[in-house]
């Protein structure tokens, strides 16, 4: 079966990162004890920091990646890519994030992009998120969509 993310069926590292990155949000710092959620609550836990994540999709595919949620509401991009991923809190335990990453073929040529939205739940040093990603061609037309689930554990505080 051919994987729609890459020609030739190989899941490129950038594509897997894009799938994993679905788990991100928009500006709003969540530093324990000082940051506030969208509703103005003081929050005990922070999404800001480095996370090791396991990602599963409905393609099917799976893998592992690292997320770095920054205090400014961005997510650190894969090396060589611009910052396009953002996260934001919903409340002290819920958050959302958006990813936009290039879709590349087996030769490394950009053939479109992957755009995803994730809704997440934050615990002390773990989070879970799920959402949908859509693959677009270079004309901006949707090619296919798939679901993504992410389970992550904190590696490092900021």
Q: What is the pLDDT of residues 83-120, one digit of tens each?
A: 889 999 999 999 999 999 999 999 999 999 999 999 99
In order of 1, 61, 101, the CA distances from 76 in angstroms are 32, 23, 12
Q: What is the pLDDT of residue 38?
A: 54
CA gap 26, 149 in Å, rounded? 19
Distance of CA 94 to the CA centre of its chain: 15
CA gap 55, 129 in Å, rounded? 10
What is the CB neighbour count within 10 angstroms for residue 17?
A: 22
Q: Which two tokens stand for residue 11?
A: 């899941």
CA gap 138, 84 in Å, rounded? 17
Averaged pLDDT for residues 43-72: 95
Least confident of 37-41, 50-54, 136-140: 37-41
């Amino acid at each position: 079966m051919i994987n729609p993310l890459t020609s030739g069926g190989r899941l490129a590292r950038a594509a897997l990162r894009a799938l994993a990155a679905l788990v991100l949000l928009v500006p709003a710092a969540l530093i324990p004890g000082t940051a506030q959620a969208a509703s103005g609550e003081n929050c005990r836990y922070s999404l800001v920091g480095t996370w090791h994540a396991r990602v599963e999709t409905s393609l099917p595919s799976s893998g592992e990646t690292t997320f770095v949620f920054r205090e400014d509401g961005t997510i650190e991009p894969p090396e060589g890519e611009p910052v396009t991923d953002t996260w934001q809190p919903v409340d002290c335990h819920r958050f959302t994030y958006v990813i936009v990453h290039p879709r590349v073929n087996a030769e490394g040529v950009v053939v479109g992009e992957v755009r995803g939205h994730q809704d997440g739940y934050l615990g002390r040093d773990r989070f879970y998120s799920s959402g949908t990603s859509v693959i677009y061609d270079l004309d901006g037309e949707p090619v296919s969509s798939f679901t993504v689930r992410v389970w992550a554990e904190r590696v490092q505080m900021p």
